[in-house]
């Protein structure tokens, strides 16, 4: 028990210092380790296994919606990056530049991709000629680099893993439909697989992706009341096609510019999982992406028959979920703390008395509820518990978001709400002017998160200037 205590003591509590709690969890749950390159981390086996599960579910959803995986180079020549004016303006300041190959200075410097629109455009120009070549529905799983000043594991790192979808369509309608479809896929994935409730909406003009006509996003609210953008889906119109001179002959044999989209989700989803579901004992993992869904802990394992029975139980569970056993010589208490830290959704305890009674104890991670169940149908009971965890953590997260979502009709009300209740989403009306958007941020500290698809008519006046309101916005501080 001494070790258990040590372990639990080692985490800062959320209320004391949320930022410190977050990095403690990242380190103690063995998700990451720092390296000598600032902002670049090692994703350790346990962290990477979460990412592999995220990949596997999303990849299946992408393939079911007709997408194919490809792989573009990681280098973009400076001249290629510059072809679309808004795009280069957005990304050049945070590019990492390769200037030497071996001992030779390159004739043209290459940036390490911060995103790959320009590479896909170059490729599309090479392979798309006729309407028969459309649509192109591509995705790639790679890492990208953005030279950020301040960095935090998963949330903002100089290199991060992601998937980037890039699609090309004959018409604007099809491209818009795709942009919306993929936002829907992201929403479904976040809510069902990660148990993270999200608000779907559109970014304001000033907050769009560099080069996009529209940026859709899903926004989640973390435990501390700060918002996190969990995924984005961009509609480009034919802007990139014109910049890169991509044309196809349509059914009437006329040269036409195609319409384009891109959409991405990143390893920051792991940060979102930590900050949405975690608690003072560590991680709480959504079952769908948990590397271990059920951990069997033998009690009094030195007693005859316990280890055998526990191993048998683990083998049975391994047929229906990702089950493991810890038969090391650490104490049960140490193991409890260890797997709570690692966020394993269901703990399965089995000791001599349980064996005698043909039973075991199931403990769900998020509420530490204990249930004694018969060994006869233990597989079904564990699966039921996994679903209970998923629902339970989704409901807690939703409850947290609702409790922390405030309505404000004036700038003063924004400030009052934040002072009284702490950070959260502010719902407030907006006239549509960038000037007001900037002013709200300057005065109250909260920025626009999105124009939600589900609009409400809170008042008919802009929260800032009092002129007629166009949209209700979600505002908040963001990661």
In the complex with a second copy, the residue whose CB is nearer, 27 or 384, is 27
Residue 139 vs 444, nearer CB to a second copy:
139
Residue 170 CA: distances (Å) to CA of 237, 241, 250, 309, 346: 11, 11, 8, 61, 49
Nearest CA-CA partner of 464 in 475, 456, 455, 453: 475
44 binds a second copy (CB under 8 A): yes
Residue 437 tokens, joined: 């958007």
User: 155: closest CA among 12, 14, 19, 17?
Assistant: 19
Task: Determine which helix (DSSP H) or strand (DSSP E) holds 343, and give its type and residue range.
Answer: none
One character per residue 146-175, x = contact with a second copy (rule: CB under 8 A): -x----------xx-x--------------
Q: Could you say which of 87, 123, 169, 226 contacts a second copy (CB under 8 A)?
A: 123
Using CB under 8 A, which of the segments 136-144, 281-289, 409-417, 464-472 binds a second copy? 136-144
Cis peptide before 135 (omega within 30 of 0): yes
Query: What sign does the dihedral 39-43-46-50 (CA atoms) show?
Result: positive
Could you give phi then psi for residue 457, rounded to 5 degrees? Answer: -100, 85
Site string for a second copy, 60-89 (x = CB under 8 A): --------xxxxxxxxxx--x---------
How far apart are CB 34 and a second copy at their closest, in Å? 8
Contact between 457 and a second copy by CB under 8 A: the answer reads no
What count of residues does the chain have? 479
DSSP string, 244-255: HT--EE-TTS-E
Pick one of 11, 14, 58, 119: the residue that binds a second copy (CB under 8 A).
Answer: 119
Query: Is 110 among the residues that bind a second copy (CB under 8 A)?
Result: yes
Q: Report whether 448 contacts 437 (CB < 8 A).
A: yes
Measuring CA to CA, which residue among 287, 295, 292 is closest to residue 393?
Answer: 287
Considering only residues 364 to 423 of the shown chain, the ones binding a second copy according to CB under 8 A are none
Stretch near a second copy under the rule CB under 8 A, chosen from 135-143, 165-173, 247-255, 405-413: 135-143
The answer to whether residue 349 forms part of the interface with a second copy (CB under 8 A) is: no
Distances (CA, A) of 457 to 205, 243, 303, 444, 479: 21, 40, 67, 22, 28
Among 8, 40, 61, 478, binds a second copy (CB under 8 A): 40
289 binds a second copy (CB under 8 A): no
CB atoms within 10 A of CB 371: 14
Judged by beta carbon, residue 15 or residue 102, the one nearer a second copy is 102
CB 408 within 8 A of CB 426: yes
Q: Tell me if 97 contacts a second copy by CB under 8 A.
A: yes
User: At its nearest, how many Å lie between a second copy and the CB of residue 131?
Assistant: 14
The verdict on 45 binding a second copy (CB under 8 A) reads yes
Among 26, 112, 323, 382, binds a second copy (CB under 8 A): 112
How many residues touch a second copy under the rule CB under 8 A: the total is: 54
Q: Which is nearer to a second copy, 37 or 255 (CB)?
A: 37
Does 130 engage in binding with a second copy (CB under 8 A)? no
Rounded Cα gap, residues 28 and 5, in angstroms:
14
With residue 259 as reference, give the H or E element that holds it: strand 259-266
Which residue number, 31 or 473, has a Cβ lying nearer to a second copy? 31
- Bridge partners of 473? 428
By CB under 8 A, residue 101 contacts a second copy: yes
Tokens found for residue 438: 């900037």
Residues that bind a second copy (CB under 8 A): 33-37, 40-45, 48-49, 51-52, 68-77, 80, 92-103, 109-110, 112, 119, 122-123, 126-127, 138, 142-143, 145, 147, 158-159, 161
């Amino acid at each position: 028990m001494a070790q258990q205590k040590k372990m639990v003591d080692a985490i800062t509590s959320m209320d004391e210092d949320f930022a410190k709690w977050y990095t403690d969890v990242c380190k103690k749950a063995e998700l990451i380790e720092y390296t000598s390159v600032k902002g670049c981390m090692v994703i350790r086996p346990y962290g990477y296994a979460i990412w592999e599960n995220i990949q596997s579910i999303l990849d299946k959803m992408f393939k079911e919606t007709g997408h194919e995986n490809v792989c573009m180079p990681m280098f973009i020549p400076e001249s290629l990056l510059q072809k679309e004016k808004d795009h280069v303006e957005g990304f050049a300041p945070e590019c990492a530049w390769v200037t030497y190959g071996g001992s030779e200075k390159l004739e043209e410097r290459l940036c390490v991709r911060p995103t790959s629109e320009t590479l896909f455009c170059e490729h599309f120009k090479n392979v798309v000629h006729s309407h028969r070549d459309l649509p192109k529905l591509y995705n790639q799983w790679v890492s990208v680099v953005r030279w950020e000043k301040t960095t935090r594991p998963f949330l903002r790192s100089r290199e991060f893993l992601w998937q980037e979808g890039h699609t090309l369509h004959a018409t604007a309608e099809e491209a818009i439909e795709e942009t919306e479809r993929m936002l829907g896929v992201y929403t479904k994935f976040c809510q069902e697989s990660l148990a993270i409730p999200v608000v779907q909406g559109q970014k304001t003009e000033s907050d769009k992706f560099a080069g996009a006509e529209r940026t859709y996003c899903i926004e989640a609210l973390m435990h501390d009341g700060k918002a996190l953008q969990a995924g984005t889906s961009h509609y480009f119109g034919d802007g990139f096609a014109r910049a890169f001179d991509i044309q196809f002959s349509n059914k009437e044999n006329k040269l036409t510019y195609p319409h384009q989209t891109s959409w991405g989700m990143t390893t920051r989803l792991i940060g979102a999982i930590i900050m949405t579901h975690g608690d003072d004992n560590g991680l709480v993992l959504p079952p769908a992406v948990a590397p271990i869904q059920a951990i069997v802990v033998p009690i009094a394992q030195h007693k005859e028959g316990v280890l055998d029975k526990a191993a048998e139980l683990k083998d049975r569970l391994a047929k229906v979920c990702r089950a493991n056993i810890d038969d090391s010589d650490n104490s049960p208490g140490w193991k409890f703390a260890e797997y709570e830290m690692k966020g394993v959704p269901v703990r399965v305890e089995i000791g001599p008395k349980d064996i005698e009674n043909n039973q075991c104890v199931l403990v769900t991670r998020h509420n530490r509820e204990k249930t004694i169940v018969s060994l006869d149908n233990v597989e079904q009971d564990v699966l039921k518990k996994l679903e209970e965890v998923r629902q339970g953590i989704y409901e807690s997260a939703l409850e947290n978001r609702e409790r922390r979502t405030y309505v404000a009709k004036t700038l003063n009300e924004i400030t009052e709400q934040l002072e009284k209740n702490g950070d959260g989403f502010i719902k407030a009306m907006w006239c549509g002017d960038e000037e007001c958007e900037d002013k709200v941020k300057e005065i109250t500290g909260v920025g626009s998160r999105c124009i939600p698809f589900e609009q409400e008519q809170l008042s008919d006046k802009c929260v800032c200037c009092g002129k007629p309101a166009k949209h209700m916005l979600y505002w908040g501080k963001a990661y």
